[in-house]
Structure 1
């Protein structure tokens, strides 16, 4: 084996705000709230599924805004309307060609939303 999956990482101009957004969107929490750790505001923010089912996601601070299409993205089960109420935007709606919606988080990072099972 050459590589083994560890975590996901997402770059963000405002990594603190985007960490909060993804926590609200997916029911995640900041890992530090579970461990009691404190980290400087400029450091990456790890968020986790408190039930332990999903991967750890790092929100990494970067100075530049998103400039192009994601080459890798998240796929989630969820409610498109609720995500839009949280501040997501529609990139592409499901149609005859795709069975999911493509949305973007508040910083423009695309993710696909599938109907919950």
Structure 2
């Protein structure tokens, strides 16, 4: 039996994509960089976290999938074949908050709103219903 471990996003700028998703999702944060990781990045020719080609966003509790953002040279060209669905207690307030983080609304439906993140990846926001 297999278990979901990571969700990986191809990205033009992994650090900013990771910050967006860490701010979007409750109880997630960008993984901290220790000195050993900073030294490893510098040895590969990177200056630090801002130009890291692979950035990890992890659940604070350690439970749930991790999100990896990896640098790819090509731009996003077509609609996602897979997207994330997220939920909120207040759809309108969360819509405003996500827009402030850089998301764009691309469609509103009776039961959810479709967004793109700052790199054009689609995701949906649903209200929490009982």
- Normalising by the smaller structure, the TM-score range is 0.7 to 0.9
Tell me the secondary structure at the aligned position of residue 92 of structure 1. Answer: strand
CA contact (8 A) 2:85 2:124 kept: yes
Query: In the alignment, which of 81, 87, 100 is matched to residue 112 of structure 2?
Result: 100
Q: What are the Cα deviations for residues 50-91 of structure 1, in whole angstroms up to 9, with x where unaligned?
A: 123431010011111111000001111131121111110011
* Mapped pair 1:65 → 2:75: yes
Q: How do residues 1-80 of structure 1 correspond to structure 2 at under 5 angstroms?
A: 1=1, 3-27=2-26, 28-31=28-31, 33=32, 36=34, 38=37, 40=41, 41-78=51-88, 79-80=94-95
The structure number with the bigger radius of gyration is 2
Query: In the alignment, which of 85, 88, 112 is matched to residue 100 of structure 2?
Result: 85
Higher helix share: 2
Taking only aligned residues, the RMSD between alpha carbons, in angstroms, comes to: 1.9
Instruction: Point out where structure 2 has 5 or more consecutive residues left out of the alignment.
Output: 42-50, 89-93
> In the comparison of the two structures, how many residue pairs are matched?
111
CA contact (8 A) 2:4 2:65 kept: no
Instruction: Point out where structure 1 has 5 or more consecutive residues left out of the alignment.
Output: none
TM-score normalized with structure 2 length: 0.75
What is the distance in 2 between the residues matched to 1:54 and 1:6? 8
